[in-house]
Structure formats: C-alpha cells, structure tokens
Chains A and B, each alone.
Chain A
Amino acid sequence: MAFVNGLRCRECSREYPAEALNVCDFCFGPLEVVYDYATISEVVSRDRISQGPLSIWRYADLLPADSENRVDIMAGYTPLLKVPNLGKRLGLNNLYIKNDSVNPSYSFKDRVVSVAATKAIEFGFETLACASTGNLACSVAAHSARAGIRAIVFIPSDLERGKVIGAAVYGPTMVAVDGTYDEVNRLCSELADNYPWAFVNINMRPYYAEGSKTLGYEVAEQLGWRLPDHVVIPSASGAMFTKIWKGFNELACLGLLEGVDRLSFGPDQNTVHHPAVTTKMHMTQAVGCSPIVSAWAGGQSQIRPVRPDTIAKSLGIGNPADGIYSLRIINASDGSAFAVPEDQVVEGIKLLAETEGIFTETAGGVTISGLKHLAESGAIKSDELTVAYITGNGLKTQEAVEELVNPLMVKPTMSSFEEAMSERTLAGR
C-alpha cells in the first residue's frame, strides 16, 4: 500500500484528498504529495529495499502509488558507473555517471510514467495521455501498452518523424497539433480539464513527479548508502532536479544513510533539509532554453519564461513549473546553474561516447559540457565524489551527431584500404 495522506499546496498549504488534482483550487499553486512518514519510518529499511524488485518499485514505501498493482516495465535500477577515462579528461578522480539512458523506453521518463500509470489505474482512469516532443510520448505509450489501457499522445505537427516512431510502435492514438509552442501548451491544459483522461504531467503531476526521487535513492544505494559531494543534472521543468534533492533528504530523515541520524520531516515535507545532506546541486540547461539558469545568474527569485530554441529539445520547457523551487534548492545546497552554449552540446555527447562508450541524447550532452565547465572552473575539486545524470539515449537524437559519420571509402582491395588508412592517419583522424 502507498503511505499517502493527501495533497498539499506548495504555496498556501491548503490540503486536498489524494485525487487526480495538480493545482490548488484557491491560489492555483502546485500540489504535492503528503506522506505518512511516521508509518513509513516504521516499515522501511535498507534490507527491505534490497529485497525488492530491480526497478524503481524497490522503493515502493516511498512512492505514492500501490505497488501491488504496479505498471512496471522495469524502469530504474540503472547502472552507476565509475568513469575514469572521462574523469581523467576532466581532472576528476571520483566521477560517476548515472546512466538512465538504458531504461526500457530509453529515458528517465519511465520512472515518472511508471508511477503515474500505476496511480491512474488506481484512480480508475482508462486513458493515459501526454503532450510531448519525444521521450515522454514513448514512455506513456509503452506503459499504456503494458497496462492494457488506451494512450493518447499529443505532438506538435512539425515534429520530425524519427522522433515519434519510438512512440508510434506501441500503438497509441497520436494527435498532431498544428500550432505554436504556446498554443499546444494551452490546448493540452484545456483538454486535461475537459476530458476524463490521466494526463501524466498535468492532473497526475503530483504523483508523476515523485518517480524522479528514485534517481536520488538509487545513487545513494549504489554508493553504499552515502551521498555524493556534487550532482550535475540537466533540467527542463526543474521537477527532476527538485525530486532528486527530495530523495536525498528523505533517505537522511528516515535514517537510511550511513552514519546519519533520523530527523523529523516537520510540517512542510517538501522543503525539509537534513543537515547531513551536503550534496551540491548543479543544474545545466542549454543556452537556447535556460530560464532557470538565467534567474539564478541574475539573482532573481522568479523565472522569466522564454520561447525554447535549443538543439536539446528534451530540455525545451520555456515556462518551467518547478523553476522557482529549483532555484531555492540550488541556493540551499550551495550549488550552481550553468547554461551550455548550443555548439557545446554535441561536444558533450562526443566526449562521453569517446571516453566511456555511452551514447547519450542532447540533454546528456548538456550535462557533460556543464560538468566540464564545473571541473574547469574549480567548482568541483579533483577528489570530490561527483555524479552526473545521463537521462536519455543517443539513439533518440541521432540527427544531432549525423555529421560525425565519415567512413573511409575504399574499393574491395588491400591497396585501396591501406592507402585510405594511410591518408586518414596522416590527417590525424
């Protein structure tokens, strides 16, 4: 069973029952799940977690949906790799990659959608929906197929075919909306108000977002129940960023971290900061869509929305729902935020692929180039334990690195091969 007491507004603290709601009826602030941490602290333990499935559902006691009827395509429990080659290039001796590109539909979205789909079925919904330009659509379609319910996926009409094939294969109803970015956003918000569908990131958002906490839990568990000194995280809405922080603090407050004493969560569970959580939270965005970074750099407490124009399309959210909460966490953790120049996104993809054999999408390129900046600027010291989150697979954005395809063209003879190799060697390639 899920240990959920209800929902609470993050702005005015009004409380609501645990239903398919995402906005406070009074002030229109975002709603968050309220947990029964007293009961959770009685049942949860490292042993219990270690005996759970090799998916996000090993942390079921800390998730807002009933795991007995979970929609589980084995999202999560992805590798945490020590990456000495990349570390050497960056001057970091204690560097790890959390490789979430190997999830079932090849992005971290499987974590959040698994929770949202499970909760949607618990609420009796028969349709799972989303608006997406890629990863989310794939995950919603895949989980709907597994659950045997209908999927409706809204996409911008000018989206490249390659982007949607990965979702279409699961058999969703795909709706291509002919409109601007803003118009598609507004239409989908209206649809969520008017149709009895579970829109994973609208009316299911309080539950959906909680799935990202598992990115924090797993890293801690895989490091032997301790936290890194630094994490580097790509951000769009900022939700994943805030939930990784929340996950770290939940583990600390529940006494699950090595050598850390339990602590009460207090009345506002979502802002709790255990003093033992000293991880510095570093956010990366691409310059073409960096409203949170801009606000942080300008010392602002509010986010000024932008229209996305970035190669890192999976990070293209111009009006980030969790932007202001992310800012607070960056500051509370003594972290930072950095906007990666667009021409360095592909450089980041190449660097990770060439040093560690991991092919990430453009968002991962933003992470690695941001990490490089942090290392070069001295914000991360060489021996500090650092984890960089890679959240999507390179096969999703192959067009970004298309120019790298440059094979040796040879005739089927030894001499042709050797001549071409010699030229390539002379050219130093």
Chain B
Amino acid sequence: MGSQRVKFTFESTLVKVPIIYQLGHDFHLVTNIRRADVRENVGWVVLELDGEKEEIERGLQWVSSTGVRVDPVSGDVVEG
C-alpha cells in the first residue's frame, strides 16, 4: 500500500467530468480532497490518494490521459 499527494488542474472542458470518482472506482483508490478551487473556466483540486502503489501509478497515468494536469502539491521542484 502507498499514498501520494497530488494536484489536479482541470480545463473548462473537464470541470464537469467526474474524474475523481472514476479514479477511485476504477483503480480502487481512496481519494481524500484537502483543498480545491473550481471556477467557471479552470479548477484545481489538491488531494491524497491511498491504495496499491501500482494502482496509484496507473490511475495517475489515466488522469493525465484525460487531459487533466497532474502536479506535485508543492509545485514544480525542478529549478533552473
């Protein structure tokens, strides 16, 4: 088992899609939202994922494939 903290950023076309529900359902992950801000044209959600490590990895790949941006919660860490 493992857990991961991530930030999802949604474009307007994806704001109404139940991505987090599907992520939990299809990859058997517990999704725990800690903070979010969803506006008309963009939204983000900071959440923790608990589950099998492989499923977390597969789940995040699936989320990325939908067009949702997946980032570390602390922002980008690769600096110049």
Whether B76 contacts A11 by the Cβ 8 Å rule is: no
Taking CB atoms and an 8 Å cut-off, the chain A residues in 178-192 that contact chain B are 181-182, 184-186, 188-190, 192
Closest Cβ of chain B to A100, distance in Å, is 14
Nearest residue (CB) in A for B80 is A314
Given A317-B75, A321-B75: 16 more A-B contacts, CB < 8 Å: A23-B73, A135-B79, A136-B79, A181-B78, A185-B76, A185-B78, A186-B71, A189-B77, A237-B76, A305-B69, A305-B71, A314-B80, A317-B79, A317-B80, A318-B76, A321-B76
Q: Mark B25-66, 1 if CB is under 8 A from A, else 0.
A: 000000000110101001010101000000000000000100
A182: contacting residue among B42, B44, B70, CB under 8 A: B70
Chain B residue nearest to A322 (CB atoms) is B75
In the complex, which of the residues A156, A302, A313, A392 has the most CB atoms of chain B within 10 Å of its own CB atom? Answer: A302
Would A305 and B73 count as touching, CB distance under 8 A? no
In the assembled complex, the Cα of A165 lies from the Cα of B34 at a distance in Å of 41
Q: Is A91 part of the binding interface, using a Cβ–Cβ cutoff of 8 Å?
A: no
Chain A, interface SS category:
mixed
A237 touches B5 (CB 8 A): no
* Residue A269 lies at the interface, judged by CB distance under 8 Å to chain B: no
The complex places the Cα of A318 from the Cα of B44 at a distance, in Å, of 15
Residues A188 and B78 in contact in the complex (CB < 8 Å), given A11-B35, A302-B37: yes
Residues of A within 8 A of B67 (CB): none
Query: Can you list 12 residue pairs at the A/B interface with Cβ under 8 Å?
Result: A22-B74, A27-B46, A109-B79, A132-B78, A182-B64, A182-B69, A190-B4, A237-B76, A237-B79, A318-B76, A320-B76, A363-B80
Return the contact of B9 from the options A188, A190, A305, A314 (Cβ within 8 A): A305
Instruction: Name the residue among B5, B34, B44, B77 with the largest chain A CB count within 10 angstroms.
Output: B77
Question: Which chain A residues border B7 with CB–CB below 8 Å?
Answer: 319
B35: chain A residues at CB < 8 Å are: 11, 27-29
Q: Are A133 and B5 in contact (CB under 8 A)?
A: no
When C-beta atoms are compared, the residue in chain A nearest to B78 turns out to be A131
Q: What chain A residues lie within 8 Å of B76 (beta carbons)?
A: 185, 237, 317-321
**A7: CB under 8 A from chain B?**
no
Q: Which residues of A contact B44 (CB under 8 A)?
A: 302
With A11-B35, A185-B72, A186-B70 in contact, do A133 and B77 touch (Cβ < 8 Å)?
no
- B77 touching A316, Cβ below 8 Å: no
Instruction: Point out the residues of chain A lying under 8 angstroms from B78, CB to CB.
Output: 131-133, 154, 156, 181, 184-185, 188, 317
Other-chain contact of A185, B4, B5, B71 (Cβ < 8 Å): B71
- Can you name the residue of chain A whose Cβ is closest to the Cβ of B39? A302
B1-33 to A contact mask, C-beta < 8 Å, 1/0: 000110101000000000000000000000000
How large, as a class, is the contact surface on chain A?
35 or more
Cβ–Cβ < 8 Å partners of A237 in chain B: 75-76, 79
Are A201 and B79 interface neighbours, CB within 8 A? yes
The interface residues of chain A lying within 8 Å CB-to-CB of B74 are 22-23, 30, 189, 202, 205, 321
C-alpha gap A22/B77 in the complex (Å)? 12
Q: How far is the CA of A199 from the CA of B7 in the complex (A)?
A: 20
CB-CB nearest in chain A for B37: A302
- Closest chain A residue to B44 by CB distance? A302
Docked CA distance A189–B77 (Å): 7
Contact A304 B9 (CB under 8 A): yes
CA distance A202 to B78 in the complex (A): 10
Q: Name which residue of chain A comes closest to B5, CB basis.
A: A28
> A56 on the interface (CB 8 Å rule)?
no
Instruction: Please give the distance in Å from B80's CB to the nearest CB on chain A.
Output: 3
Q: Which A residues touch B77, using CB under 8 A?
A: 131, 185, 188-189, 192, 199, 201-202
Most A CB within 10 A of own CB, among B70, B71, B74? B74
